Amino acid sequence: MEFALPDHLPGLLAEMDAFIEAEIKPLEREHMQYFDHRREYARTDWESGGIPRREWEDLLDEMRRRADAAGWLRYGLPARFGGRDGTNLDMAVIREHLAHKGLGLHNDLQDESSIVGNFPQVIMMDRFGTEQQKQEWIEPMITGERSMAFGLTEPNHGSDATWLETRAEPDGDGWIINGRKRWNTGVHRATHDLIFARTSGEPGQAHGITAFLVPTDAEGFKVPFYWWTFNMPSDHGEVELDNVWVPADAVLGEVDRGLEVGQTFLHENRIRQAASSLGAAQYCIDRAVEYANERVVFGKPLSVNQAVQWPLVELQTEAQMVRLLVYFAAWHLDHDHHMQVSDKVSMANYRANRLVCEAADRAMQIHGGIGYSRHEPFEHIYRHHRRYRITEGAEEIQIRRVAQRLFGFGRR
């Protein structure tokens, strides 16, 4: 059995690091208020509902522009979109590598922003869009001219996505949509919101849900407020749809089969999310080990104490096991249909997301009071990655998916 990375990856990671040092780190150093202990306050427009400051997002846009010009941003996309046909395994290794480098402009996961872009919406559009939709959407989404929020969760329905109360009714050559959506991430700047609404069938049925590309400036589309969260700024909007009309060509995919669109989005995100959590966990472990070796207490290094050693050994062991699982699941995604490997993706996702929370917490503990402060990055890492145990399917949903495959019940 071969455990080595593909031959092209070590050299590619070295090239990437050189680009970061030459193009991104100097830009980061010019705007350190977004990355040091001031980061949460500098990034947040507190007077405008807690959304990200435009200056902060402009900096992220410049980072992506430089990465695109250098050929990195589209790495994971097909060559026909200007990408390099990067595989799921490539992307898992890259996402881990970038997160392992710690906080920085090169990879700010609070905004899902990285020099190597994660474009689940592009993949979703490529699989389910009409030719006209692909032409109108794919390149503008990559460059940022168009953007799409994701409107699946509702006030009364989160993980139970087949029980949607939002409904869409046929109306002439279009549809009228009524309902409410919650956690519409990025809607403050999105040109459209991908709204999932019931168009037929009964509550609890997977069939009968349709995905609609709804313009955020449509009459009746409102964002009454943004949810302030554990990790600020917040771009998670509450959305109200009051008799919002969209044309027939606003449907993405097939009518009544919108959950297939949503599943593609989630599966693309879950494995890459897991890789990022793994990388951030390894960063926390490495920093804790380094500090324990340097810190002298009662006349000897902190690291000689088994109470310090053993928790870090447990975390390092878990990280190595999760790494093999992430790579294994990513490799299978490259060779099998995503539904065939969904249990492996779920395993990798929930274990990696737990690991990073435990690693950040342990790093805080070993660093003592300074670890709890905002002058170290552990609190930021914890606050960000803690949401991954809820988003893209709560870890209970991930575990249930594994149970379905293990016990042979439900959807396979």
Give the per-residue pLDDT at 411: 54
Pairing of strands 107-108, 251-252: unpaired
- Distance CA(364)–CA(376), nearest Å, equals 9
Please name the fold of domain 258-405.
Answer: Butyryl-CoA Dehydrogenase, subunit A; domain 3 (1.20.140)
Helix, strand and coil in the chain, % to nearest 5: 55, 15, 30
Degrees to nearest 5, angle at CA 202 with 196 and 207: 55
Residues 6+ apart with CB under 8 A from 1: none
Across the 412 residues of the chain, what is the mean pLDDT of every consecutive 10-residue run?
Answer: 83 97 98 97 96 96 97 96 95 97 92 90 94 96 93 92 96 97 95 97 95 98 96 95 98 96 80 95 98 97 97 98 96 84 93 98 98 96 94 89 89 50
Residue 141 has which token pair? 């989404």
Provide CATH code, domain 146-251.
2.40.110.10
392 included as an active-site residue: yes
pTM recorded for the entire structure: 0.94
Cis peptide before 233 (omega within 30 of 0): yes
Give the per-residue pLDDT at 412: 46
- Distance CA(122)–CA(126), nearest Å, equals 6
Decide: residue 37, CB within 10 A, 0-12 exposed, 13-18 middle, 19+ buried. Answer: middle
Residue 402 has which token pair? 């594994």
Paired residues of 195 in beta bridges? 151, 212
Pairing of strands 148-151, 192-198: parallel
Give the per-residue pLDDT at 410: 65
Give the per-residue pLDDT at 269: 82
Residue 223 has which token pair? 């964002």
Token pair 């170290």 is found at 376
Q: Which of 57, 96, 376, 392 is catalytic?
A: 392
Give the per-residue pLDDT at 264: 78
- Distance CA(9)–CA(304), nearest Å, equals 36
Residue spans of beta strands (DSSP E) within 270-357: 296-297, 300-301
Domain ranges of the chain: 5-118, 146-251, 258-405
Phi, psi angles (nearest 5°) of residue 178: -135, 140
Pairing of strands 174-185, 236-247: antiparallel
- Distance CA(22)–CA(325), nearest Å, equals 33
CATH class of this structure's domain 5-118:
mainly alpha
- Distance CA(181)–CA(285), nearest Å, equals 38
- Distance CA(186)–CA(195), nearest Å, equals 14
